[in-house]
Structure 1
Amino acid sequence: MPELPEVETVRRGLEPVMTGRRILQADVRRPDLRWPFPPGMAERLTGAHVVALRRRSKYILADLSTAETLLIHLGMSGRLLISGATLGSFHHPHPAPAKHDHVVLDLEGGARITFNDARRFGAMDLMPTEGAGAHPLLSALGPEPMGNDFHAAYLAARLRGRATPIKTALLDQHLVAGLGNIYVCEALFRAGIHPARLARDLTGAEVERLVPIIRDVLVDAIDAGGSSLKDYRQADGELGYFQHSFRVYDREGQVCVTPGCGAIVQRIVQSGRSSFFCPCCQPQ
């Protein structure tokens, strides 16, 4: 599942192509993805200008001139791909329609945005822009980890008395929005915190250290275009490269990257998800 860095990378790729442009034609080629599309979605999108392109957690939000916002969730295998536009020094012509191209947006200026989703776990919805935060998928989300509302005092208060592992706590989208398995593993490694430590047992100093480290990991991942493990691609079709910088994630059985450590990276399963850690750098 794409996490915050992957979704933000896609949003940044789409922004110069979509923002300020009119949707000349919206082609909706099936009635649903994970859930049914809203009624008349093609007609409601056609003719609208894209006023702004935002991200909330793992969702892309396109604010439209019609006072509606298009919500997009990539799901496990969804891709938003650009064609017919010059990106950097490369021109991407329109490809032939593919089997899993479910929604196609043709924009003024010649660009085309194609939502391709082989497994159909993605989603699209339309909602009033005013009060969009009340949408069922957005209303219960915690603060953005790169925003001003996510700070050490907030995190310490939310972890206080919480008898769940810190890894599980940070994956709770009600506590902080957008974090997923990869980047929580990486942040806990950099902070020297074992993923099985109970959230309530973290010291104030550990929480103070963890918050900026979470931000640093996310910034590093965004700068690298996200992590491509299976299906993820950037909006121009290119792979992300942060997987080449993993320090613990997916490195079970390999030597820890910390100079002079020599310990072997281990893996445990927590709430059905793999957690990777160094037993020396992250003592329990």
Structure 2
Amino acid sequence: MAANMLLAIQERLPDFSGVERAVGKYVLAHPEKVLQMNTKALAQAAGASPATVVRFARRMGTAGYADFKIQLSAEQHTDPLLLQEITPHEDLAMMKDKLSLRIRQTLTDTNQSLANDQVDAAVAQLAASQSMSVYGIGASLLAATDFVQKFSRLGLAPFLGRDIDEVIAHLVNQPAPGVVVLISNSGENPNVVTIAKSVPAGLTTIVLTKAPKSTLAKMADIVLVTQPTSITGQMRTAATTSLMAQLYAIDLVYYRYFQRRYKDHVQRIQTSFETLHRVQPRRH
């Protein structure tokens, strides 16, 4: 289930069919009325069929319409302003509430969208690999950098690509078996897609994206799906929540990988910690 049903409906409206979108818009406009309606009444009000209402409820991650109303009832006092984009004159308290709501939603939805079998498959490939490389553009580059920082502390040496020509040149000579991690929120960035096309045999492509049906995802061996939450309207803040979702996914893969050789990895972390404190000048 979504952390906040109203926000989740608003976020997913573009993905619904026409009649499902009509149901979603009615729920957003009249959440308290919906709590008193059965499937037939909501269907009539939204210009849909009872079957569409049930399908809509299930697409929102609930067991059915009754379950949908139970979660919706917990949010009947949600301030509608929290579902709107940031405005020029709102106070800091409102801004904090809006952002924290979206972060909670992002982490809850991403936790559900990260399929266990895909996470474990990614970890198994990383563990069996002789080499790792990772690439992302813009905010995704920050996530790629975080991947390198984490796995480097375990004695590994992931290659961080910052330029498409540099990455493709590296891929040609990357030892196999190896892993190529490509990070793209949309899954349609032309540079990242070009890199995916250049991955040679013997290397496994792991894609981190919010778009499981994207061009990049279709080219991947393993897909890790995130669910960033953005504010609808002209000004979108997806770069903020998409990075949150990517960092969470990387943390999950890292901790799962850490488990495989737990004692050895604990020792490596401790050794790096002690070395850093020994070589750094003492701070006063």
TM-score, length-normalised on structure 2? 0.26
Greater share of strand = 1
TM-score, length-normalised on structure 1? 0.26
Greater share of helix = 2
Structure number, greater radius of gyration: 2
